[in-house]
Homo-oligomer: A and B are copies of this chain.
């Protein structure tokens, strides 16, 4: 049974301020905990119902001793969600920084993505398309926000997400690395020749790509609409179609 202080600590991790301070985040539910266990991430604690703990034979013994049994009422207190899902775990936030070698493949840049579901889905999409690195503007939603974590469906353990001033990164890119951005006035993506490496910038759900980044984006692309009415696509949907277009050329 976790102590009162422990419960207080776990609840504090619902907030970005405390995640940044303690460098830990929470993952919830058997699937996410199992993904965390199978990942390179450092799992620091597991809090599960006894019903869940009865089904943990495939958990390494070194981690078994980190399991603390909680009651449904305790789980409800420490869970971020209305409907807690049997178990949650604390995981160390990885200390990663951008290395030039990441630009040998396709890299996503997100300019002020603010919806947690969108960011989580984008991480999942990136994982599907084998994109290992996402650079977010510092004002984007925190990838360790519980809603984002859940929406990644485990892909958070396979994709590196950095927060960095995008102008700074774009200024220091390797020469000749192509930079693409999604714009309403861009070229029809279906007719473009898309490379196997480069940067793809996705804009905010309502305001698109930050004005200040535009000078860095020689390649403006656009997903053509076949409708008279629809004004835009959801940011994660647009990202998925763009990633699919880049990868289909290199399959």
Residues of A within 8 A of B (CB): 117, 121, 124-125, 127-131, 153-155, 157-158, 188, 190, 223-234, 236-237, 240-241, 244-245, 247-248, 251
Contacts and interface: CB of A to CB of B under 8 A. Distances in A.
A227 B127 contact: yes
A4 to B, nearest CB: 30
A44 to B, nearest CB: 22
B240 A128 contact: no
Given A227-B130, A227-B158, A124 B251 contact: no
A230 B117 contact: no
A251 B121 contact: no
A226 B230 CA distance: 30
B230 A158 contact: yes
A210 B17 CA distance: 45
Contacts of A157: 229
A148 B156 CA distance: 27
Contact of A124 (B124, B129, B234, B247): B234
Q: Which 9 A-B pairs have the closest CB atoms?
A: A130-B226, A127-B230, A237-B240, A128-B230, A190-B248, A158-B229, A241-B244, A130-B227, A129-B226
B251 A190 contact: yes
B129 A234 contact: no
B128 A225 contact: yes
A147 to B, nearest CB: 12
Contacts of A241: 240-241, 244
Given A128-B225, A157-B229, A224-B251, 15 more contacts: A124-B230, A125-B234, A125-B237, A127-B229, A129-B225, A130-B225, A154-B229, A154-B230, A155-B230, A158-B228, A234-B236, A237-B240, A240-B241, A244-B244, A244-B245
Contacts of A125: 233-234, 237
Contacts of A190: 248, 251
A132 B129 CA distance: 29
Contacts of A244: 223, 241, 244-245
A128 B158 contact: no
- Which of A224, A226, A236: most chain B CB closer than 10 A? A226
